Structure formats: structure tokens, C-alpha cells
Amino acid sequence: MEKIIFEKVTSTTEETEECGALLASLIGADPAMPQFVSLVGDLGTGKTAFVRGFASLAAAGAAVRSPTYTLVNEYRSKGRPVFHFDVYRINDEDDLYSIGFYDYLDEGICLVEWCDLIPYALPDRYISVTLEKLPEDVALRRVRVSLVSKGE
């Protein structure tokens, strides 16, 4: 089952970052919200910008960069740590184990880019963020944030 939390059309990086900050505030206000965030979108749709906005509240002062080559970046603050994954280069579950992916899940908030490539690793309940370019204007992005519960 999927329930839309919010959906916005953005035209700037800053507006995409604001969507990330909004989700961070919602998670911070409700301890029952999942601590796993799936980020799906083509190259250049704003996944890292969304994480930058999220971290601006959840890990203030963190220098957010794409973890394309490091696979995971850790952003620490006074609250729960934020773990930012890029699983584009992950081939299978053995690769996930080798980077300690499953160990991170209970340690903090996990934001994972390219989750559509690891459907077998998604928890039963998570937040899905889909970013897509709109065909009518290359600068516009649709950001859809949903709560996903498997088996409901």
C-alpha cells in the first residue's frame, strides 16, 4: 500500500532542497515515521539536492555530496545520524553486505539513492521519494513523497 505524504513541482534546486527539509521535519515530528527513505529518479533529477535539504535539518552543518564513489556518506549531528547511500554500482545482495548496508538500518536515518535497483533490500515500511523531470519544461521536477507499507 502506498499513501502520498506530499507532492510538489519544483523549478529550482533550492525548492527541491526545501522538499527534503520538509520531509526531515515530518520525520523529526513523528517518531513512528520510517527511518528509511528510498530515492528514485534519473540522473540529474535532484536526488542529492533533496538529501542536502533533508540534512540541513537532520544533520545541520553537514557538507552533503553525492556518495557515487564512496557508496555511503555519514552525516552526524546531535540527533540520529543520517546515512546517505548511492547503490547505483551495487550488483547484488553480497555487495550490500560487503558495505555493511544492513548494519546501518538500525543505527540512523538511511536515505538511499537508486533503490529501484535493490527492491529485495527494502524494508516492509519505508518512505519513497520519486523525482522526475517534467516534459513540458526541463527545469521542472515533480517530487512525490509517499509512505509505503508492503503487504497491506
DSSP string, 57-101: HHTTT------TTTSEEEE--SSS-EEEEE-TT--SHHHHHHTTH
Q: What is the mean pLDDT of residues 7-28?
A: 96
Q: Which pTM does this prediction carry? A: 0.91
pLDDT in tens, 34-62: 999 999 999 889 999 999 999 888 767 76
pLDDT of residue 70: 66
71 or 12, higher pLDDT: 12
**Would the pLDDT of 67 be above 70?**
no
**Would the pLDDT of 21 be above 80?**
yes
In this structure, are residues 54 and 47 in contact, taking their beta carbons and an 8 Å threshold? no
**Would the pLDDT of 77 be above 90?**
no
Residue 60, CB half-sphere, CA atoms under 13 Å: how many? 4
Mean pLDDT of all residues in the chain?
90
Pairwise CA distance, residues 57 & 52, whole Å: 9
In this structure, are residues 109 and 27 in contact, taking their beta carbons and an 8 Å threshold? yes
pLDDT of residue 68: 64
Q: What is the CATH number of domain 16-131?
A: 3.40.50.300
- Cα radius of gyration (the chain): 14
